[in-house]
Structure 1
Amino acid sequence: MKSLIFLAIFALVFSACSTKRQYFEPTNISGDAKISSLNASIKHSTRNGATLSNGTLITQNGLQSKALSANEYFLGSYEGQDVSSTIEGKLTIRQGSALVLEHEFDEAIVSASIEGNRLAALSAANKIYLLLIDTNEVILEYASGASYAQDARTAAPVFLNTIIVYPTLDGKIMIVQKDSGTIVRDAVVSSENFFNNIIYLDVEGDNLYAATGTRILSISPDRTATIAEQIKDIKLHNGRIYALLKNGF
């Protein structure tokens, strides 16, 4: 089971980059690029989408005609439901134009995920939450360590079979039992003092991958591996991590 990966050791094979900078030139171009412009500027962005200044959303499915109110920003779409928050901490879930949930947190929510009746969220105060949507009941509220800055790339929680993996803003991942909301363990990805948010969190097969801006960690049933780099972005595909580094490699 995927939930057992945290009881095992971690694994990942990373390919080293050449020290010589290389540039790619395509040898075959099949068509011209289509250039278009947005109908407003981007006022807020996350890994899962962006909010334009007119309230229009950019999701993973493209530009959406639906719009948020002036003080809301988009966090992501899950199971056909859109999650948004305000800077004051009012979180809203909508399904189409229908309101599913409104909940007032003590601080802004910076990332969230939904599975069935459960909402997992991370706040700007580095608190993780688990909330039951049908009753609007918070069954877990836990403050992790101090965090002095936030990154727009902050990852969203990941639901697995019986657990939820939460990112934090201080370089850790938290493992929570889905049914009870009990924290069962945590793991340190990086221990930097500043800008140590978990910017990437994903699962493929029995492997879990997490990263901050300075370190990548992999968990699998075989072993653990880490790599330290200045990381700009990450892509996971077919068991391989592709990292775009700040030095251009």
Structure 2
Amino acid sequence: MRYFLISLSAIFLFTACSGKKYFEPEDVSSNIELNKESMSSSITSMNKIGATLDNKKVITAQGISSFELPEKFDFLNVSADGKIIATNYINKILIGNEERIVKDVVVAASLKDNKLALVYSNNTIELIDIKTNKTLYKEYLPISLANDTRITNPYFMGNLILFPTLNGKVIIVSALTNESIRNISVDPDSEFNNIISLNVIDGSQTLIVASPNKVVSISSKEIITKNYEVRDIIVNKEDVYIATIDGQIIKLTPSLVEVTKKKYKYAKIHALGFSDSLYAVESQGYLINLNHDFTDDRIYKFSFDNKERMIAIGNKIYFDSKYITLP
């Protein structure tokens, strides 16, 4: 009987593995120049806008830093005047070369005009004047027990400070009065619902906010919400691009009207990047390139270890201890 159960378990395991589906494009091109550049170390932590390497150098939109963070600190953000903000995930943050003691674990931070906006791991948000060390605003929000690792930073938008919370909300605070003026629920009900992306489209003064399950467009005229299971989201000029868990790549307007979309069967998109056109990295070792209106796509072989960390910033894709510049 014991041997029968072992054999039966093996059959079920084999059936489950053999039934797993993978993205297998029919037409794969090799006509692309993808020169891999080596980094001095591999990625150990990252968020939407940057990463920390094992040797404590950081990756930002400006590329790989020449300096190194102190031990046990990880990159969070870049201040308005170009200073790196980092956290030790215990009781300190780093702003440039200055270490500051904080009251709890900081998971997101932004700095502009001496105003430091913080999001703590217990979902408390705080605004501090770093000149006087005075708390200008603080709010204790419900603790979020389960979070997507893609935590995004507060955003300074004119005279407003947007705090993306860990429980699916955006708290808008006036930088003039230091008071909360609006509370927007993006995704209050899902299990993983922290804000993973927050972008402003300058031309239409529209805020694009995403949780793992929803995308919200916020303008002076309206708030529009759409349900998407988001693998990645980027904004390029006036266009919003989303990759979903079920292999779709979707182009939307600032008001979330779907312009065009394309589905890749069984595809698992790791990251979206943009050069002169849109690129998507697929987990089985492919790079998908789509033209402006998605009427033409090309799929290239792109070998990488899909278990390693990967981040796309602009036209560069960083993975493990290498990176490429999109053509």
Using the size of structure 1 for normalisation, the TM-score is 0.82
- Name the structure 2 match of 1:214: 213
Residue 192 of structure 1 and its aligned partner are, at CA, apart by 2.9
Report if the CA contact (8 A) 1:215-1:230 is conserved: yes
Deviations 1:82-115 (A, max 9, x none): 1011111301101xxxx3x432222221111121
Superposed, 1:107-126 pairs within 5 Å as: 107-126=104-123
Say which structure, 1 or 2, has more relative contact order (CA 8 Å, 6+ apart).
1
Residue 188 of structure 1 and its aligned partner are, at CA, apart by 0.4
Deviations 1:171-207 (A, max 9, x none): 0000101133211220100123421110011111321
Compute the RMSD of aligned alpha carbons: 2.2
Report if the CA contact (8 A) 1:103-1:136 is conserved: no
Report if the CA contact (8 A) 1:56-1:64 is conserved: yes
1:58 matched to 2:65? The reply is no
Deviations 1:103-137 (A, max 9, x none): 22222211111212111111111111111122222
Q: Which moved more, 1:47-56 or 1:170-179?
A: 47-56
CA distance in structure 1 between the aligned counterparts of 2:122 and 2:233, rounded to whole angstroms: 25
Deviations 1:128-162 (A, max 9, x none): 11111222222122121220123332111111222
1:72 matched to 2:73? The reply is yes
Residue 238 of structure 1 and its aligned partner are, at CA, apart by 3.0
Q: Report % sequence identity.
A: 29
CA distance in structure 1 between the aligned counterparts of 2:52 and 2:30, rounded to whole angstroms: 35
CA distance in structure 1 between the aligned counterparts of 2:27 and 2:237, rounded to whole angstroms: 25
Superposed, 1:72-111 pairs within 5 Å as: 72-78=73-79, 79-94=81-96, 99=97, 101-111=98-108
Q: SS at the partner of 1:195? A: coil
In the alignment, structure 1 segments of 5+ residues that lack a partner are 1-20
In the alignment, structure 2 segments of 5+ residues that lack a partner are 1-22, 249-327
- Name the structure 2 match of 1:130: 127
Larger radius of gyration: 2
Residues paired across the two proteins, number = 223
- Name the structure 1 match of 2:38: 37
Counterpart AA for 1:45: M
Q: SS at the partner of 2:67? A: strand
2:136 to 139, 142, 167: 139
CA distance in structure 1 between the aligned counterparts of 2:27 and 2:223, rounded to whole angstroms: 36
Counterpart AA for 2:61: Q
* C-alpha distance 80-199 of structure 1, shift in aligned 2 (>3 A): same
Counterpart AA for 1:231: V
Using the size of structure 2 for normalisation, the TM-score is 0.63
